[in-house]
Structure 1
């Protein structure tokens, strides 16, 4: 069941949806005319913080985050959440359900007040048929996400919490292209992603700060002060 509130009047909404579609690297190679066609078959909804974009068991269209952040997670048998990823502006979700016609087995919830463009599944399939380059780009994204998931599973079974945390902080710095960055999620969600508890994560972060590897700042900011020390923690056996 789709939630959220539809965005704006028809004329303004089309321009907004077009900007949303144009944000996505997936559609970067398409002509302006093709992007307008995609925008015509999409809708934009606003979600308040904590509101679900979709729930497990639904059949999905393709969703593009236009503003804010969206958390994707699964519910474990214990009832706790397992974070899968956090998406920001220009990133999309629902591609697996679109391609396989299956119901999703995970949830998506707005971490902030967010706007999400949803593109009709039939339109996306038509675009993939008409524009093989878009299909290739989508498959590359799916492959990268699968690879990241496989690496995380391998890390959870063969690496310590300290190693997983150090690796993750180094990856966040790489993604931000800066040694100073903001953790994209709460400590609770980060702990879930790394397969530990929030209490253990807090202790490990404090230990890294005491070692001089990082400095913790307000607003979830982290600065890597000694990359070599952090890498040695990530590479430790």
Structure 2
């Protein structure tokens, strides 16, 4: 992790994201005074599950994955990228991070003091509506993951994970290039061995093509049917 100053070569103009356009000049100044721009190298933790949260993160550049750790097992929740917040639940009364977040690429973020963001949410209705929508979207992904674990068989979980991941774009390469087979297994909530077997079966059936780490979706309709039926 490295703090980036405004005169550094890697500094990014940081209040230009669309969500910040809703702020008035005094509110933008509150953000500027309460933020720190930080870069994380690939593989570093942006957040650690269970640790105290005095700030939320806003991704300026890069890609990361969020995961839960329970009972010695890890379950991947979602991919986060440019323009997304991490840790919104801590603004609404939660004092610790619910999940860990790991950089899949070198990632630049804004660390914004939680109290500053809370103050703006209380006084700017349009910005608050945007933040609440984002928070609800994150909860929808979590509930979808829980339903998969509770009601779907392994093939359905893997099909659902592949369809979700295939929608995620990265600046330099496909998302599958950034993930190991273990990562894929943890998105589907199954063992690595089972994930490898299912991927090979999907390839034999013409649903996907495996090219080293990359995965190409060949029959999206049939994958959707498998994901739906579970």
* TM-score normalised by structure 2 residue count: 0.84
Give how far 1:121 is off: 1.4
1:137 aligns with 2:130: yes
- 2:55 is aligned to 61
Task: Select the residue among 88, 98, 103 that pairs with 2:96.
Answer: 103
RMSD: 2.6
- 1:7 is aligned to 4
Contact 1:64 1:118 in 2 (8 A): yes
After superposition, where does 1:76-115 map in structure 2 within 5 Å? 76-77=70-71, 79-115=72-108
- Greater helix proportion: 1
Give how far 1:32 is off: 6.7
Task: Select the residue among 183, 194, 199 that pairs with 1:200.
Answer: 194
Give how far 1:196 is off: 0.2
- CA pair 109-227 structure 1, distance change in 2 beyond 3 A: closer
- CA pair 48-231 structure 1, distance change in 2 beyond 3 A: closer
Which consecutive unaligned segments of at least 5 residues does structure 2 have? none
Give how far 1:194 is off: 1.2
Equivalences, count: 224
Give how far 1:235 is off: 3.2
Which consecutive unaligned segments of at least 5 residues does structure 1 have? none
1:215 aligns with 2:212: no
Task: Select the residue among 159, 162, 169 that pairs with 2:162.
Answer: 169
Any idea what the Cα deviations from partners look like across 1:85-108, whole Å, max 9, x if unmatched? 221122111111122142224222
Any idea what the Cα deviations from partners look like across 1:186-211, whole Å, max 9, x if unmatched? 22122112110111111111111111
Give how far 1:42 is off: 0.5
After superposition, where does 1:11-26 map in structure 2 within 5 Å? 11-12=6-7, 16=11, 19-23=13-17, 25-26=18-19
Q: Distance in 2 between matches of 1:232 and 1:122?
A: 45
Give how far 1:31 is off: 5.2
Any idea what the Cα deviations from partners look like across 1:95-139, whole Å, max 9, x if unmatched? 111221422242223222222210111211121122111111111
- 1:234 is aligned to 227
- 1:30 is aligned to 23
Task: Select the residue among 127, 150, 157 that pairs with 2:150.
Answer: 157
Give how far 1:43 is off: 0.2
